[in-house]
Amino acid sequence: MNGSSPSTPDSINIWRTWALTVIYEAAEYTEQKFKTEKTGGGPVIPSPNLDTDLVMACDCLADVLIKAYKNPIQMQMDIARYSKLISPKDTGHNEQREARLLERCSPGHEGKRLVDEPATILDASGAIIAWYLPDTLTDTTQKEIREATDLLAPSLEKSVRADGIWRTNQKWFKQGSDDGHETVSDLEVSASLKGPSWENILKAIARPAAIVSAALRVMHPEQYWAGLRTLSNLGHIAVSKDLPQMPEALQYWASVFNTLSIIYNQETPNH
C-alpha cells in the first residue's frame, strides 16, 4: 500500500502564533502515534502545549487512522487513468456518461459494498485514494463544533440575502468592475470574522480545526506542509502590509485546510 510520506522539511520559517504552535504540536504528536502503531516503538509523549482534551482527541484520531490503514479495500480502477477521462463538465447526473465511465474504470466488484468500520480505499496501483474514518471525533470535540456553529449563526443569518448571489448580480459582470482583481484588492478576513464575536468563534473552533490539521498531516502530508507555509507566509504579509484585523485573526486560526486547499484539490488527479 502506497502512501505519501515525505520527510519533514529541512527548514520552514513558521510565523509564530498560538494557533500555529497548536497545529504543529498536535499534528506532530498524532503522526508519531500513527507511526508507532504502524511500525512499533515506545510511548509517544505529547507536548506540554497541548491540553488534555486535545491530547485525548489526537489519541482517538490516531487510533482510527491506524485501523483504517490496516483495513485496505483494493479497487481495480486506476485513479490516474480515471482523472484523464473526466472533466469539469462531468456533474455525475448524466446516467449514460456515468455508465460509460463505470465500464471503462470498473471498481472491480459488482453492486454496492457496505463499509461500517475505518478503512482506506486503494486504486489498482496501491495508492490510497480515500480514507474512511467513522467515530473519529470525541464527544467533547463534537460539542465544541456545535457551540462554534451557534456562535456563527448571527453572521450567517445576515449573509443570506435574496439579492446576494454573485452569479445573478449584474454589477459584478460589468466591464468596468475591478473589484476582486489581484492588482486592486488585498486579502482580508471573511465577513463572518468581522463581527464582534470573531475572537470567540476562532477560539471555539481551534481544537476541532487542529484535529483536522493533524489528520491531514498523516493522510496528505504535502498538503499539510503547504497549508502551514501558506498560513505562515500570510502572517508575514499581513504584518508587513498592515492588513486590517488579519494578524489578530491569524493568532487563533488553527486549520491548515482553507479555501486555497479546496481550489488546489480541484486541480489534482485524486479529486
Dump pLDDT digits (tens) for 39-82: 888 889 999 989 999 999 999 999 999 999 999 998 888 888 88
One domain, residues 67 and 197: yes
Residue 64's domain comprises 19-71+136-158+187-265
pTM for this prediction: 0.78
pLDDT at 208: 92
One domain, residues 143 and 128: no
pLDDT at 182: 54
CA-CA-CA-CA torsion sign (257, 260, 266, 269): negative
The confidence band for 28, taking pLDDT boundaries of 50, 70 and 90, is: very high
Q: Does a structural domain hold residue 194?
A: yes
Over pLDDT 90: what percentage of the chain? 32
SS (H, E, C) 4-38: CCCCCCCCCCCCCCHHHHHHHHHHHHHHHHHHHHH
Answer left, alpha or beta for residue 41, where phi above 0 means left and psi between -120 and 50 means alpha. Answer: left
One domain, residues 54 and 144: yes
- Report, as an integer, the average pLDDT of 191-209: 85
One domain, residues 29 and 56: yes
What is the DSSP pairing of strand 128-132 with strand 72-74?
Answer: unpaired
pLDDT at 3: 46
One domain, residues 86 and 61: no
The confidence band for 15, taking pLDDT boundaries of 50, 70 and 90, is: low
One domain, residues 242 and 256: yes
CA atoms within 13 A on the CB side of 94: 10
pLDDT at 108: 73
Q: Cβ contacts of residue 81 below 8 Å, gap of 6+?
A: 105
One domain, residues 56 and 152: yes
The confidence band for 6, taking pLDDT boundaries of 50, 70 and 90, is: very low
Asked if residue 10 has pLDDT above 60, the reply is no
